[in-house]
Structure 1
């Protein structure tokens, strides 16, 4: 199989471009791809400096350049080198212009501007880090989302991912011998979500965790019967409190977070319908 050189050229951080490329590549079976990442390309001089790399590693060029002069120059270089170049956001931007009845501003990195949403995300990240692993129960009511589940059910990485989406998240481990603070059961503002997984998968994850810590002693932490009891304990708690449950066995962190965000949005819609509020979500 031929190896593809994939050049990602952006006039901003390139985060959006990387996510698009990753999503597209996920549709192929083990593609042999060498990624060449070119962020913050905002000048003619910078653009010209990467041309030798394009020539030395011919392949597909994906770009998000909003400056017209930079776009034209990159496209000219690609035509000269015989390389396909795709402006990945053009069709979406054009469709939005048509529907919104206005032209796009065309300013590099505009989605990363330090506006209200930016500071909301920073605040969410600070809150989430400060309320990891059951810490700060006095402030759980301030959270948007509270994740709970037994050890190694992806609570912390899911929390951090959600925080980067602007949600304040607290996560609480469930331990049979040490019930969580009573504050968990009286929360009104946050959406409490239970995370669970298949016992076999959980044992495997815990064993791998112990290996990274150079711990080879067998303990109840990885005992099959014990793990099943823990998961049953957690499921009873979820059911008794009417908390929605997400099985993370075959889900990536992104997929789990997406399911949680849908739950938050569904609850928001229900609250608005009950309150007779018609503003968009």
Structure 2
């Protein structure tokens, strides 16, 4: 007996329909079938072609079609030509519509889009960790956003927050005694964002940081004159880069992040 031919039809890539079909076949010990996956079916003419092939092969059709008019046409044609047709998506969506008391979007490929968005976020988070605090300057050339600033200007929290929005972010600490990496001056300045803070605010933040670590809050790290020199050096680097500078003195991370995202979106426009 020849193996049955199953046409797996979808208005997206067809992975869901094929997985369900294979799962069902696996319940029949020793049984096999020829599966022909046909993705991106969104026209009546495509269905006509599939019906012709399935009828010729004495095959069956398993489909996940979210657009009602295309799904209904497939149902009508399979019944008209006496072809076994299995609608995986339709009955479930009809039941959900009653359950949620809300009409479906009827847009193909949304599951795949959600998966892609998820993995993009994960990749961005891993990128932010890898290229945090200037660890590897090579990351600057691949970053969507580059943050520069002196210590304690929220570069790392901002990098992580922006990564959750799927932006690949690298950040570079600005220290007078250390030259910035040469890669920083090779990137598009529109991708660079400088984070500036008032000396007094930074002095308070650093003193609190030292105290929390059990250290002397009068250390050079929190010295106001030292802080002023760092900020002057930051100004020099920012001017050389010709990048946008945001004053983060009294801004929450979320507020600064929104400003940066708006800047990036205007750049792309």
Q: TM-score category by the smaller chain?
A: 0.5 to 0.7
| Cross-structure match for 1:143 | 143
TM-score, normalisation: structure 2: 0.58
| Cross-structure match for 1:248 | 248
The correspondence of residues 119-268 of structure 1 with structure 2, limited to 5 A, is 119-188=119-188, 191-216=191-216, 218-268=218-268
CA distance in 1, matches of 2:139, 2:190: 11
8 A Cα contact 2:195 2:246, kept in partner: yes
Deviation at 1:69, TM superposition (A): 4.6
Deviation at 1:209, TM superposition (A): 0.9
8 A Cα contact 2:97 2:104, kept in partner: no
CA distance in 2, matches of 1:231, 1:67: 58
CA distance in 2, matches of 1:128, 1:236: 25
| Structure with greater Cα Rg | 2
Instruction: Figure out how many residues of one structure are paired with residues of the other and give that number.
Output: 171
CA distance in 1, matches of 2:199, 2:189: 31
Mark the runs of 5 or more structure 2 residues left unpaired by the alignment.
1-95
CA distance in 2, matches of 1:67, 1:179: 61
RMSD: 2.5
Please give the secondary structure, in 1, of the residue aligned with 2:134: coil
8 A Cα contact 1:143 1:190, kept in partner: no
Mark the runs of 5 or more structure 1 residues left unpaired by the alignment.
1-65, 72-93, 95-102, 270-281
The correspondence of residues 30-49 of structure 1 with structure 2, limited to 5 A, is none
8 A Cα contact 2:195 2:247, kept in partner: yes
CA distance in 2, matches of 1:250, 1:217: 22
